[in-house]
Structure 1
C-alpha cells in the first residue's frame, strides 16, 4: 500500500500496517484552509513534519482546529515538487521508542505546500492572498539559525539582502527569506493591518527578538529610501499588532534512516526508500523518524488568537520570562551544548552515531562535566520543566536510545552559526556572576579547542575526513592553513582571529580570559595521532568532578 491512498475508505488497510490515520477528512480541511487560512509555516524539513505537523494533526483530530497548515519553502522547489506534492502533502511519522518498537502515524495536516520563488508566480500570488486575509493567526518558522542571518561576520549586509534593500519591492525581486517575509507582512499591513503572531521555532536563544530585529532592519532599510512608510515600521515594532514570541523547541529528528526504510518496506509500505532530489540534491523521504520525547514551550502572545496549543501533546505555554528560561536551559545548557560536544568529538574520534558515543565512558563523562558541573550552576529554573530531570533524561535516556540513529556529522553542520549560542550564554553568565570565575571552566574550553582541531579536517587517527557544511568554513580554515599534525605552531597567533570573534562565540574569548586555556588544549591535541583522546582522558582524570545521579 501507499501513504497516498484514501485513508477514509481504506482505513482497514492502514490499520493492518499498524498505521494510525487521521480522524478528519483532509479534503474538508483543505477547503476550509483555502477560504480562511490560519497557520503558515516556513521551512518544510523533518522537524516541521514530525512536530508542527503532529501538533496540527492532534488538534484536528480533537476537533480543536478546522484548518491545516500552509507550508512554504524558499530554498528549493525539490522539496515541494518531489516530497510534498509527490506524496499528496502527507508524511509518515515513525516515532522510535527506546524499547525498539515504532509508532507509525499518517500525517495529513499540511493543507497546502508552496514554493515562494519568482519561478512560481501562482504560489507567490496565493501566499500574498493568505497574508492579506484577516483570518491568518500565526506564522511559524523552522529555517535553521542561519536563515535569520542577514550580515556577514564583518557586520556587512549579505549581498542578497543588500540587493533586496536596493530593488523595487516586489516578490519576484526579493531573494532572502527574511526579505520575503517582511514583504508579506507589508502586504498584510497595506490590506488593513490585521494582527499576527510571527513565531520562530528554531533552536537558538531569544529567537523572537532576533527574528523581530531582522525583519525591522529590512523594513527600516526600505523606509529610509522611501519604499515603505514609518507607519509600517511601527506596525512591526510596537508589539500590539505583530508579535514575535519566544519559543523553545526540542525533538531530536535525525535524517531518514535506511534501516527504518527497509523495515517499512518489508511491512509492505511502498515508496519508503529515501532518495536524492533532482536539482538541489537533497536527501528526501516520505517518512520522518523521530524520538518519543518532545517539548515546545511558547510565549503566549498571539494578538489575533491561536490554536488550542495547550491541548496538544508536548506543548507548554507561559510568559516571556518563563519561556526564555526554558529556552536558555535547553539550548545553552541541558541539551544542545551536549549535542555539540558529542558532535565535535564524535567526528574527531570516528563515531557515526550519537548513542554509540554515550556508550564511550570518556565522552559520557565529558558531557556530564559540560552539563552538570559547568552548565547547571548558572541555569535559571523555568519551573515548567525541571533542569536536573531534563538533563538526566537527555543524557541517560534520549542520547542513549539506540533507535535514534542521529549522527554527529549532522549536528556539526553550520557549527560556526551555533557554537556561540551553545556556549556563549553560559560564558556570559559566568562573567556576569560575582561569585563565579569563567577562567575556572575546563570542559567548555576543551570543547572549543576541539572544534578548532576539528576544522583541520584531520581525525584523531591522522586521517582526513569531510567537515560538515559551514558558511564560514573557508574563512576559518584559512586561519589554520599552516597547522599540521605534529608541527610547531604559535597557537596564540593562529587562533587569535578565531577566538576573538564575538560574532561567533557571543563573547571575545581573549577578553574574558579563556583563550590561553583553549590555545593550550589545541596545542596538545595536534601533537600526534591519538592526541585528542589522550588530552580528553588526561583532562578528565585531573579535573572531572563527581556527578550525583
Structure 2
C-alpha cells in the first residue's frame, strides 16, 4: 500500500500510476519557512487544499516559492490535527475533468499547519512570530462569507465579536479579532508592510475584509487598548493592502467514490472523516479541472510570481468586473438556485440536477435572460463564454461529486450578493424594470419554501447549516404545507423580504415582495407544488434562449 506520509519510498509505483510528485527540496522549504515566512493562509478547508496548495506547488516546482505556505485554522483545530499533521502537511489532489481521465498529484508546498487560537498557545505564539517577521508578504483567506460578518440582522455585534471588543487584544476568539491581534503585533515590531488577500467567494472581498478588520481595531482604540497610530497603519493601503480577488474552482467535500478509487489503486488511509464541528475532510481533495484566480496586483511588501502558476494579475476595476460577472450572474446565483431546488426535489448531485430539463432551463433563464443583460464584461473573460462553460461543462460534469446540500449552506449570507446585486441593477438602469424578473424571485420564493424544512414530497428534511436558520425558521414556524391565507403569509414574509441585511435591498421597494409571496403561496399549496410552480413559470415565461 502507498503511504502518503512516506511517498518517496513509492516513487516507482507512483510513476506507474502517473501520479505527479513534487520537484523541490521540502526540507529546505520548511527551514526557509521558519526563518523567512512569505505566505500565510487562513482556512485549511477543501478550497485551500484543492486550489491555493496547488498554486503554491507550481511555484515551488519552478523555484519561485522557497518558503511554501503556512496554513492555519482559527475555528476547527481537528482539521489541523487530522488532515494536516497526521499526514505531514501533504495533500493528495484528485483533479476530475468531465472526460473521466483523473489527474492525481501529491501537493507538498504546505510548509506548516497551525491552530491559530489563544487556546493553543504554542501555535499562536508561532503565528505571532511569523507576523512580526518583515519577510511576510501576504496573508490569504478562505473562511467563507460568514467569517467576515461582525453583526447580526439587527445590526448588533454577534456574541463572539462583542466579547472580543470588550476584552481587547488579550484573548481573541473570532477570526477577525485574531487577525487584528496579529497585525497589532506586526505594527509594534516595525509596522512592516503586508497584503491581506481575501479569496472568498463574494464581490469586493478585499473591501469587506478591510472594513471588518478596521471595525474591530477602532473599537479597541475607543476602549484604549490600541493606539491611533495602529489605526493609521491599517488604514494606509500603501502599507497594509487589501487586494480584491475573484476565485473560481468547484471543490466539493471529499467523495466516498474517490476514497474507494484511491484505496483500490493502493493508497492507504484515504478515509473521509467529519470533525466534531461538522467539517468533512480527508487526506485527499477532489476538484474540477477548470479554475480561475484573478488578483488585484497590489502587494506593498512584494509577492511570489503568481502569474507563473496561472493566476491573472490586474487592476481592481477588472477584478471587480470579473467577480461581479461570476458571483452575481454567471455561476454563483445558478449554483444556489440548483442547491435550493435540488434539496426540495430530492436531488443529491448537481450533475444529476442538470439532467432535469426543468432545472437546466431554470438556471439558463437566470443566467442568460436575467443576469447577463446587466453584467459588464471584465475584458479578460467573456461572460457569455464563461456562462456557457458553467452550464454545459462544469455543472454537468458527472465526475464532480458536488451536492446541493453543500451549496445550500449559509444561503442567508449569500443571497444579497448573488441576487440582490442584479435586482439593484434592474432598479438603477433606466431601461430595466425589476418587475420583469421572474426566475430570480422564483428562486427566492423557493428558498423561503426550503426553510420550512418540508420537501416537495411532503416529507421533513434537515436544511443545511446557516447562521440565520433558527431565526428565519422561527419567523415562518406557523406556515405549514397547505397554508393559503395570503394576509397571514404576508404578515410573516414582510419582515424577511424587507430585510436589506439579508437581500441587499428591500424587496418591496423593488416591487418584488408581493410577487415572491404569490410564488411562495403556490409552492406551499401541497405535495409536488414546487415542481408544478416551477413548470408553470417555465411554460409561461421560459424558453426564449435563442439569442444566447
TM-score range normalised by the length of the shorter chain: over 0.9
Which whole-Å CA distance do the structure 1 matches of 2:274 and 2:424 have between them? 42
Which whole-Å CA distance do the structure 2 matches of 1:280 and 1:246 have between them? 30
Q: Residue 293 in 1 paired to residue 290 in 2?
A: yes
Q: Residue 223 in 1 paired to residue 221 in 2?
A: yes
Task: Find the partner of 1:479 among 475, 480, 486.
Answer: 475
Show CA shifts across 1:93-137 (max 9, x none): 000111112100000110000001223111111100000100000
CA contact (8 A) 2:169 2:177 kept: no
User: Who is 2:489 aligned against?
Assistant: 491
CA contact (8 A) 2:46 2:281 kept: no
Displacement, 1:534? 0.6
Task: Find the partner of 2:529 among 516, 528, 531.
Answer: 531
Which whole-Å CA distance do the structure 1 matches of 2:418 and 2:328 have between them? 5
Task: Find the partner of 1:303 among 300, 303, 315.
Answer: 300
User: Who is 1:50 aligned against?
Assistant: 50
Which whole-Å CA distance do the structure 2 matches of 1:127 and 1:218 have between them? 20
Q: What TM-score, normalized to structure 1?
A: 0.98
Task: Report matched runs for 1:337-356 at 5 Å.
Answer: 337-356=333-352
Displacement, 1:284? 2.0
Task: Find the partner of 2:395 among 379, 395, 399.
Answer: 399
CA contact (8 A) 2:246 2:319 kept: yes
Q: Residue 145 in 1 paired to residue 142 in 2?
A: no
User: Who is 2:357 aligned against?
Assistant: 361
Q: What TM-score, normalized to structure 2?
A: 0.98
Displacement, 1:546? 1.8
Task: Give structure 2 stretches of 5+ with no counterpart.
Answer: none
Which whole-Å CA distance do the structure 2 matches of 1:420 and 1:333 have between them? 13
Displacement, 1:545? 4.2
Which whole-Å CA distance do the structure 2 matches of 1:210 and 1:426 have between them? 19
Change beyond 3 A, Cα 1:66–1:429: same
Q: Residue 427 in 1 paired to residue 423 in 2?
A: yes
Displacement, 1:276? 3.0
User: Who is 2:268 aligned against?
Assistant: 270
Q: Residue 169 in 1 paired to residue 169 in 2?
A: yes
Show CA shifts across 1:217-245 (max 9, x none): 00100111111111110111121100001
Which whole-Å CA distance do the structure 2 matches of 1:11 and 1:365 have between them? 48
Displacement, 1:50? 1.1
Displacement, 1:6? 4.0
CA contact (8 A) 2:354 2:395 kept: yes
Displacement, 1:159? 1.6
Task: Give structure 1 stretches of 5+ with no counterpart.
Answer: none
User: Who is 1:74 aligned against?
Assistant: 74
Deviating beyond 3 angstroms after TM superposition, the runs of 4 or more aligned structure 1 residues are 1-10, 279-282
CA contact (8 A) 2:150 2:157 kept: yes
User: Who is 2:116 aligned against?
Assistant: 116
User: Who is 1:515 aligned against?
Assistant: 513
Q: How many residues align?
A: 545
User: Who is 1:445 aligned against?
Assistant: 441
CA contact (8 A) 1:291 1:404 kept: yes
CA contact (8 A) 1:205 1:327 kept: yes
Which whole-Å CA distance do the structure 1 matches of 2:215 and 2:342 have between them? 38
